[in-house]
Every structure is written in structure tokens, then in C-alpha cells.
Amino acid sequence: MTAAFAPAKPRPSLGYTHEIDADFVVYRLEEAGATLLALPGTGWTTRLRTSSLEIVRTALESYGWTETRIRPPVPPSEKITRMDEAMGWLPLIPVDRFVIRRVVGARSLVHPITDRHLFPWRRLGAALGADHKAVQRWHAQGIDMIVSALKQKR
């Protein structure tokens, strides 16, 4: 166990067993992003699913045109609860700093199977029309804002 995540005395107010610092917040946000992306995207849709027709489905299967897409397992309820809590930290960044909030939110999205960020620094910089080093600084500022707000809640 690293020194940053060494167990500490639990705090009854927030229930954290670790010291709240930048590494902890980044870890929890990335865990929340991976959990969010692992949730199944099922439900009602307005799109017509032609593959639900038996004749089309049979033709697709007989020609070997079935998609084999690797899906991560559905996260347990504890991870979903932790995701809700961590994603609730994003509003701790002030509304007038919406670019920083978007950078922190986008950077928290991590693919649940490959553990790669969906938005690397350079891609975020290109999307915002800024240098990737500036985007890294904005991310660090946003994480610092979250850490200081969480420490004030203690």
C-alpha cells in the first residue's frame, strides 16, 4: 500500500478511511468514470432494430456477421454508490470555472476494460483550442478545488 492510501482513522462525517488529497480524488473520479462507462446502455430506444426480425437475424447469423463486442461486467451496487458520490464532487468546482469542470469531468472517463483515458491531454487541448500543458494545469486546479472543498466539509 502506498503512503497516499494508507488507512487512517475513519472520519464519521464523510466516512473516508484515507486522507483526502489530490491522488485520492483523481483515483476516485477515474474509478467513477470507469463504473459509469461499465453500466449497460439498455432501455427503450426510438431506433428501429431490424435485427429483431427473425429472417434478418437468421441471415446475419448464417453469414457470420454477428458482432462480438466485449462488454465489462455490470458493476456492483457499492461501486455505483461510490460513483454517485465521486461524480457529486464535480459541482464543488465553481460554476464560473466551467471549463475546468469540463476538463476534470472528461478526464475522469476511463475505459473499464483497457484502463485508458477516453480523452488524453492532447485531445482535450485540441478540443478546447488550448495547449495540452494548459489543460493539465486546469485539471490540477480543478482537483485542488475539489480537495479543498472536501476538507472544508470535514
- Residue 27: its H or E element: helix 22-38
**Lookup: cell for 58:** 437468421
Residues in the chain: 154
**Which phi-psi region, left, alpha or beta, contains residue 64 (left: φ > 0; alpha: ψ -120 to 50)?**
left
CA 102 to chain centre: 12
DSSP codes, 72-107: PPPPPHHHHHHHHHHHTTGGGS-GGGHHHHHHHHHH
**Lookup: cell for 148:** 479543498
> CA-CA distance, 105 to 102, in Å (whole number)?
5
Residues 6+ apart with CB under 8 A from 134: 125
pTM of the shown model: 0.74
Residues 6+ apart with CB under 8 A from 32: 82, 83, 85, 86, 87, 108
Closest CA relative to residue 85, chosen from 107, 108, 111 = 108
pLDDT tens for the chain, residues 1 to 154: 444 444 444 333 455 667 899 999 999 999 999 999 998 877 665 555 544 556 655 655 666 555 666 788 889 999 999 999 999 999 999 999 999 999 999 999 999 999 999 999 999 999 999 999 999 999 999 999 999 999 998 7
Interhelix angle 98-107/132-153, nearest 10 degrees: 90
The pLDDT score that the predictor gives to residue 14 is 52
Residues 6+ apart with CB under 8 A from 56: 50
The pLDDT score that the predictor gives to residue 47 is 56
